[in-house]
Amino acid sequence: MTNFVTKQSFILADELATIAMGKRIADLVKSELQQGITVYLNGDLGAGKTTLTRGFVQGMGHVGNVKSPTYTLVEPYDLAEWQVYHFDLYRLADPEELEYMGIRDYFNERSCSFIEWPEKGTGMIAVPDMVIDLAYSDEQRTMTVHADTVLGQKLLLALIS
Ligand SMILES: Nc1ncnc2c1ncn2[C@@H]1O[C@H](COP(=O)(O)OP(=O)(O)O)[C@@H](O)[C@H]1O
Ligand SMILES: [Mg+2]
């Protein structure tokens, strides 16, 4: 099959490049997909998961701070046409906790979820459209994107073209 790419790496030279990449993904969600996505973010502490999400959240139209939801598990952004959820499940002790938060209502056509430490929420969170791995060497980051659904594939193709 032509144009069938499921995995692609990108170099992010510095923090600004990572924020710009997050914004670019947001622009493509709005212009190309016109529907919500679920993105899993993998990588060590300090790899840039929150930084990438910051760019995405701002790109979706949020003006102001994007703080790390390390203690709250999720930070919601209620924007004009979209709900954006930034999860950081690092401190989640038991995936059942997500049930009490009403997690199932978070995933729908107009919502985008970026999820740090998704493995902590196994069985309780939506399957990903894309999985993004971030790895670091000094200031530079390598971002590897895996597309896991048709929607994720569409986004990845737009990202590389
Ligand atoms: N290319 C880069 N992309 C993202 N962050 C970078 C980059 N270079 C340096 N940094 C720094 O690395 C840290 C990344 O932190 P953060 O995004 O919170 O990581 P994580 O959420 O993965 O733990 C920040 O302090 C940021 O300034
Ligand atoms: Mg983080």
What tens digit of pLDDT does each residue of 46-87 get? 999 999 999 999 999 999 999 999 889 999 999 999 999 999
For atom 24 of ligand 1, the residue with the nearest CA is 46
CA-angle at 132, arms to 66 and 86, nearest 5°: 25
Choose the residue to mutate in 14, 51, 144 for probing ligand 1, maximizing ligand atoms within 8 Å of C-beta.
51
Domains and CATH numbers, the chain: 7-160 (3.40.50.300)
Model pLDDT, residue 71: 87
**108-135: pLDDT as tens digits:** 999 999 999 999 999 999 999 999 999 9
DSSP bridge pairs for 85: 76, 113
Roughly what angle, to the nearest 10 degrees, separates helices 49-59 and 15-28? Answer: 40
Using CB distances shorter than 6 Å, the residues near ligand 1 are: 12, 14-15, 17-18, 43, 45-51, 116, 139-141
Please check the confidence at residue 13 and state whether its pLDDT lies above 60: yes
> Quick check: 1 pLDDT over 50?
no
pTM of the model: 0.96
